[in-house]
Chains A and B, each alone.
Chain A
């Protein structure tokens, strides 16, 4: 039981490049989330998915897109990377939405130059 996994662990992009961060969970959770963590701050929600095939914006969605085609996977896309998107990205999942305990992946450290 791997829990929540994320790929890649580290990534360096040039301004304007695009990429997709991948998240997978094997706990049969219904809800999945993408957060970003900036230095000295807690985590902020980018997008979430309450169930397979549905997605909604969080607090900081600009510059990102998401896809939840399978229950176990949640993808985060950066359309045209900017230095302001340099951050650590965490994926999380929970069985029963915001009432349920959330479990986090190990994070992806992204640097945009």
Chain B
């Protein structure tokens, strides 16, 4: 099955720093999403980005489908950015669903 690898596994930042999270996947995908799981466990949709580039405030994401990777950029990080960031992909095949990576745990301190 398709493999999803995220790096780095852990990231510690001071408030105001920038960061880049990476997601590599092993096959062509029809769907790629980035989620933020906050400390209360809620999964928040960040981007639906099977290809191309999107921006939303301090966050932006780029997926290069032909090279099978996606990047999530966080600029001017805030303590509320802390949590786990998941990349998930899907291949639109019966019996499958979103396949999640193991996540990147981000801790932002003031």
Q: Are A and B bound to each other?
A: yes
Asked whether any CB of chain B lies closer than 8 Å to the CB of A74, the reply is no
B48 to chain A, nearest CB (A): 4
B contact residues around A2 at 8 Å (CB): none
B31 and A42 contacting across the interface, CB-CB below 8 Å: no
A101 and B45 contacting across the interface, CB-CB below 8 Å: yes
User: What interface size band does chain A fall in?
Assistant: 20 to 34
Interface members, chain B 59-94 (any A CB < 8 Å): 86, 88, 90-94
A97 to chain B, nearest CB (A): 7
A43 to B, closest residue via Cβ: B100
Asked whether any CB of chain A lies closer than 8 Å to the CB of B57, the reply is no
B83 to chain A, nearest CB (A): 14
- Give the interface centre of B30, B97, B98, B99 by most chain A CB atoms within 10 Å: B97
Bound-state CA distance A64–B90 (Å) is 23
A42 and B88 contacting across the interface, CB-CB below 8 Å: yes
B48 and A48 contacting across the interface, CB-CB below 8 Å: no
Contact flags A31-64 to B (C-beta < 8 A → 1, else 0): 0010100001111110010000000111100000
A42 and B91 contacting across the interface, CB-CB below 8 Å: no
B97 and A35 contacting across the interface, CB-CB below 8 Å: yes
Interface members, chain A 79-113 (any B CB < 8 Å): 88, 90, 92, 97-104, 106-107, 109
Q: Which of B41, B42, B95, B98 contacts A102 (CB 8 A)?
A: B98
